Structure 1
Amino acid sequence: MRYFFEISYNGKNYAGWQSQANATGIQAVVEDTLSKMFRTEVKIVGSGRTDTGVHCEQQFFHCDIEKPFETESLIQKVNSFLPRDIAIQSIRRVKDDASARYDAVERTYHYRITRKKNPFRNELAWHYFKTVDVQTMNTAAALLVGEHDFECFSKVKTDVNHFLCDIKKASWRDDGDGLEFTITANRFLRGMVRAVVGTLLDVGTGKTTVKEFQAIIQSHDRKKAGANVPPYGLYLSKVKYPPSMFVKEI
């Protein structure tokens, strides 16, 4: 039977989601834990990849488990074995052909900036001290909404078939001591959100105009966009699926 596990983690100590030969990924840690608990090899498929140092408030992975279990008890046991910076939040039964990766219809990321040096947010938000025009950044961010080719914000070496993403929302929120950028889309390219944030900050500081920002999108050239901001300010915050995928509990 197939299950969706909801997971959250602090990405500081990990080389992103995916298992790698020379670094520890979240995927490998979780697979190892579940395999030991069920005493059989358990392979998981995540809803997407996060880069080294990126945090996650909500991610999903699917796996097939044939042994019966009590949900709340399993969550407690798995969390007791996982490191303190990784936590399972829920487990739900899904249809046997459901895919955590391919059936996701929306993903939301947040990028968090602190304007004041704050030891309690160290490596949980980026300390960015420059003054920015949030209204102008939101004017530029509005140009992202819709389906566009975002090759200009993608890592150069990537194995995707196309660079089209349908962005539903892109906006900045100013809370005085900090800034938060929210972006929702059907899919994201590798490194895309960090490149978007970096380029929008160039707009906010006056380095790039709104018209130039639009031209960057149309250029499909990564070299014309701004630099990637640090990974530790980035959070995968929400992944949405069609309700019909989930099996109702009896």
Structure 2
Amino acid sequence: MQVIVRSLSILRTLAHSAGGLSLAELSDRIGIPVSSAHRLMGTLESEGFVTRSTTNRRYFIGPASRELAEAGRQHQSPLVTAHPAVVEAGRVSGETIFLCEFTGAAVVCIAMTESTRPLRLFVRVGQTMPLNAAASARVLLAWRDPEEVRQVLSRSALLRYMRGTPVSVAEVFSHLQLIRSRGYDICDSELDDNVWAVSAPIRSSTGDVVASVTLAAPFHRMGTEEAKSWAISTVRDTASEMSGDLGYTPSET
């Protein structure tokens, strides 16, 4: 396992070093002995994942690594790229639209389009969402196995971000029931003051909820029922389009 971790660290380091690195520099940056780095580099070079310049003896990312990266770009899931439905929702709303999915026991933002307005919300790819307070996370919990949800929540810090934040497992479970009944979630100043958000589930061909799509905006831009209704419809339509692209067909019953 240590060999794999070190090899991946080498590739990540070289990927961000346009001018290449010497063996000593790699050893220093990764924190391993030069002898260990030399053995790893020999294997990676023989497999084409790194190359070594014959003039300055510095290491660079090799053709095999570039081939993997290119294959990944060509076959990326619509859930980890700027899906056209997300781009369109961001364009017509002018608000921040983002996608989240479970990574282990955490809900993480995996893609987004940023608001075009001067006053915008700060969301970044890789950001972890609180399970009890974020609509994007609660939508993902709502259709999971109840016992699994209970275990995840019991191991999480259910912090009170605002007065209306649910902070007990029972409160979260009650809210999840509401989400299932209406098919989406709303976060109304529960995570951040004066922030309103709506989130809807994205389903795979099996019907499982695999991600959530969320629109978040300052409360004053969602101050009317008309604005909220429009935002809810936009997010649900976006989720429906993305679910369709993943092969989901709604039940007729």
Structure ranking higher on relative contact order (CA contacts 8 Å, 6+ apart): 1
In the superposition, the TM-score normalised over structure 1's length comes to 0.23
In the superposition, the TM-score normalised over structure 2's length comes to 0.23
User: Computing the radius of gyration over CA atoms, which structure comes out larger, 1 or 2?
Assistant: 2
| Structure with more strand by fraction | 1
| Structure with more helix by fraction | 2
